[in-house]
Structure 1
Amino acid sequence: MIGHLISLKQLEALIWVADLGSFRKAAQQLNTTQPNISARIAGLEETLGLVLMHRDAGSVRMTDKGSEILAVARRIVGEAETLTEIAGRADLSEGRLRLGVTELVAATWLHQYLRDLKATYPAISVELTVDMSRQLDAALGNHSIDLAIQNSPFVTAASGVIEIGQYPYVWAAEKSLADALAHAKTLKDLMPHTLLTHARHTQSYIELSDQAQALGVPTTSFAPSSSLTSCMQMAADGLGVALLPRIMAERGAGADRLTLLDGLWLPSALRFSARYDRDTAPRYVAQAAAIAAATAQAFGHDPTPKG
């Protein structure tokens, strides 16, 4: 038996250094120090009598034998995590989840999700990033985050994907302005007012611009923003008509001061997924993705994509 020669901590260190390309980042991920990670790798190399990686300036490069050992290390650590699942002891899982979510999630069901996650994995700490979906896409691609809860389209492929569902849009305004627009039928009827929208590169803004062009109306009244929460607050303050995900307009902060406008053109619904790297992520990341889908469904949206 070699259990006294090779430890799971050594194998975890090897995996994270390889995935993150940095001893410092691996130490942060495992909640330890860089010298500790270096000692674990050095100990593993000494035991095996192999050089597992080359430390170049600012990067780490696996040797051929190191890559073979890494593949086996992934299987061993994965099987160890399976033991805790079989025993129903998710509370034994330790580590850090680098979680990325969009503003919609942060403004609606994020807090409940974090509570649900903590109930299942009390020893897993969460490092949270709230950003636009395309930034989360890039972060997932370069291993800066472990799990992205984001809307399509995606540029970076992910081997682990759990569909969360769709979030349709709605037009919303402060009550007196909404009353004045009660008979609005087309986008033209909204044009005398500032239209508060998401950022220019987003699918909703692109579709809105295309619709305006099709109607032959100018886009000078469009006021795009990287913050949907700001759009919502400005609309609640009577500063314009906001194009918002319905779940935010109905249940986000300030929703009680908004009135929804029906019967108007709307862009395609946002389609959300929980995405991660199934081949490299710890098993608790896949479970965290599944918990996110369950929390979102329980929060009260339509979990089935349509169209």
Structure 2
Amino acid sequence: MAQINIKQLETFVQVADLGSFRRAAEKLNTTQPNVSARIASLEAQLGRKVMDRDAGSVRLTPFGETMLVKARQVVAAMDDFVASAKNDVLFDGVLRLGVTEMIAHSWLVPYLSALRARFPNIDVDLTVDLSANLSAGLFNRSLDLALQSGPFGRASAVSQPLGSFPYTWVGARSLGIGRRVLSWPDLAAHPILTHARGTLPFEQITDHMAGFDGTPARLVPSTNMSACIQMTIEGLGVACLPEIMVRQELVTGKLEALRYLWCPDALRFFARHEDTAPYFVREAAEVAAEVSWADLGVIRDE
């Protein structure tokens, strides 16, 4: 029997999925020459080519298309075999994780700690970005798991609910506006620091503002919520942010909650991945759900 091993089949599947030896090498945490060597060895043992390489592009041969189906079955069976041992130390590799800044600013550290305790031999390649960019990374396979807010323009195979995160208006105590119920003109007297353009919260605040034609406001959108929080602390404006992002600042008195009776819809978060994801990716989504519910004030979706 040919001495075909699981690494060769995993490499075959990744090159086929990603369409690139370089990207497959990044995904498998190895080098491009190693990927080339594994494919060459697989083809030598099969006695036939599974893919053609031309100017950096990869195209499966008809034989390769047939064998890819079988290779996926073997890789999935091996993943199930290892998972059945119920010993998570056996899993190694890289989890390419994408999160939004809200998660990075709130419960990312306890999540990574819980993930490390569960899968000590899995390394995390972390990306912090806007939710729309994380969706793109998920579908071009540069990410394995995305922890992000909806709604989504394109559905993933699996979306594990992580809960809803309500908004609150906040401002620096030095503004002196935190003790009374505020009207829109009260808020509009200050720059309003918001999420980036094109996000749902920005659009909802813009629509809300349109209802007060006689009282325009200066919206200051930002892709960096940490900077937005710091600017609010410095009194450079008021902000409407997920409460979990500013909880510590509220406790320490750096910010105070403002009594304005409208907020954008709570952000609903999900752990998203493909249904063909390896066991440790699927379990990483479950760990995210466990951490998001645990003592974080997250509203659990029914």
TM over 0.5: yes
Once the two structures are overlaid, the 10-residue window that deviates more, 168-177 or 294-303, is: 294-303
Tell me, yes or no, if the aligned pair for 2:100 and 2:148 is still in contact at 8 Å: yes
| DSSP 3-state at the match of 1:150 | strand
Matched, 1:284 2:283: no
Tell me, yes or no, if the aligned pair for 1:208 and 1:267 is still in contact at 8 Å: yes
**1:1-307 mapped onto 2 (5 Å cutoff):** 2=1, 5-177=3-175, 179-251=176-248, 256-279=253-276, 281-305=277-301
Question: Percent sequence identity over matched residues?
Answer: 43
Q: Matched residues in 2 for 1:12 and 1:257: separation?
A: 51
Deviations 1:119-145 (A, max 9, x none): 111111111100111111111111111
How far apart are residue 275 of structure 1 and its match?
Answer: 0.6
Once the two structures are overlaid, the 10-residue window that deviates more, 296-305 or 126-135, is: 296-305
Q: Matched residues in 1 for 2:196 and 2:252: separation?
A: 21
Would the alpha carbon gap of residues 104 and 39 (structure 1) be closer, same or farther in structure 2, given more than 3 Å must change?
same
Deviations 1:4-35 (A, max 9, x none): 61100101111111121111121122222211
What RMSD over aligned residues (CA atoms) do the two structures have, in Å? 1.9
Q: Matched residues in 2 for 1:107 and 1:252: separation?
A: 12
Deviations 1:227-252 (A, max 9, x none): 11111111111111111001111146
Tell me, yes or no, if the aligned pair for 1:249 and 1:255 is still in contact at 8 Å: no
Task: Give the letter for the 2:46 counterpart.
Answer: L
Would the alpha carbon gap of residues 76 and 44 (structure 1) be closer, same or farther in structure 2, given more than 3 Å must change?
same
Q: Matched residues in 2 for 1:127 and 1:273: separation?
A: 19
| DSSP 3-state at the match of 2:182 | coil
Deviations 1:167-221 (A, max 9, x none): 11110011232x4242233322211111111112111111111111112245442
TM-score where L is the length of structure 2 = 0.94
Deviations 1:37-91 (A, max 9, x none): 1111111112122221111222211223212222222221122122222211111
Q: Matched residues in 2 for 1:225 and 1:217: separation?
A: 25
Q: Matched residues in 1 for 2:253 and 2:45: separation?
A: 64
Q: Matched residues in 1 for 2:68 and 2:111: separation?
A: 33
Tell me, yes or no, if the aligned pair for 1:198 and 1:205 is still in contact at 8 Å: yes
Instruction: Give unpaired runs (5+ residues) of structure 1.
Output: none
Tell me, yes or no, if the aligned pair for 1:162 and 1:273 is still in contact at 8 Å: yes
Q: Matched residues in 2 for 1:45 and 1:28: separation?
A: 22
Aligned length: 302
TM-score where L is the length of structure 1 = 0.92
Task: Give the letter for the 1:109 counterpart.
Answer: W
Tell me, yes or no, if the aligned pair for 2:189 and 2:217 is still in contact at 8 Å: no
Q: Matched residues in 1 for 2:272 and 2:68: separation?
A: 23
Instruction: Give unpaired runs (5+ residues) of structure 2.
Output: none
How far apart are residue 152 of structure 1 and its match?
Answer: 0.8
Would the alpha carbon gap of residues 205 and 86 (structure 1) be closer, same or farther in structure 2, given more than 3 Å must change?
same
